[in-house]
Amino acid sequence: MILPALDFILDDGVVLLDLAARAEAEDLDISSLPRWRQLLGDLARLRSGWRPEPRILERAPRLDHWSVSEPQDFGLVRLLGTVTGHPLLPDHRVVTTSPLVALETRRGTWARTVSRFYVLHSSQREER
């Protein structure tokens, strides 16, 4: 797996974005403050060794045939793939996620974007 250019690589293969180092206070949309609090809390927990429990991943959308985008604004990358079970998007649609902030790289089983966790299945790299 080619690792996206995130800021931390933890011992168990999880890579994380240092959002605090990349975002300015004025970049935060105050109307989405609860979502930012959840995201920052998840990143802090992931950095301290917590990993999403099965109950969290059972509710997460699934991303098939996924790949990592080229770096975009501020060097951030996104996931591309076919989504199933997304709360806002129809099933089997090819999507580009919000920016990637955490990725489990050893088995490629889950990712955390700015908006939510995803369960990952069959990356494009695995299919080749």
Kindly list the domain boundaries of the chain, sorted by start residue.
8-20+29-127
Confidence class of residue 2 from pLDDT cuts 50, 70 and 90? very low
Q: Is the pTM of this model over 0.75?
A: yes
Q: How much is the pLDDT for 5?
A: 58
| Res 78 pLDDT > 90 | yes
Q: How much is the pLDDT for 4?
A: 58
| Res 86 pLDDT > 70 | yes
CB 101, CB 118: distance < 8 Å: no
| Res 61 pLDDT > 80 | yes
CB 51, CB 72: distance < 8 Å: no
Query: Who's near 128: CB < 8 A, 6+ residues apart?
Result: none
| Helical spans, DSSP H, in the chain | 19-22, 33-47, 54-59, 124-127
Q: How far apart are CA 67 and CA 56, in angstroms?
A: 22
Q: How far apart are CA 84 and CA 81, in angstroms?
A: 10
Q: How far apart are CA 72 and CA 99, in angstroms?
A: 9
* Token pair in block for residue 6: 């995130």
Confidence class of residue 8 from pLDDT cuts 50, 70 and 90? low
* Token pair in block for residue 56: 């969290």
Quote the percentage of the chain above a pLDDT of 90.
50
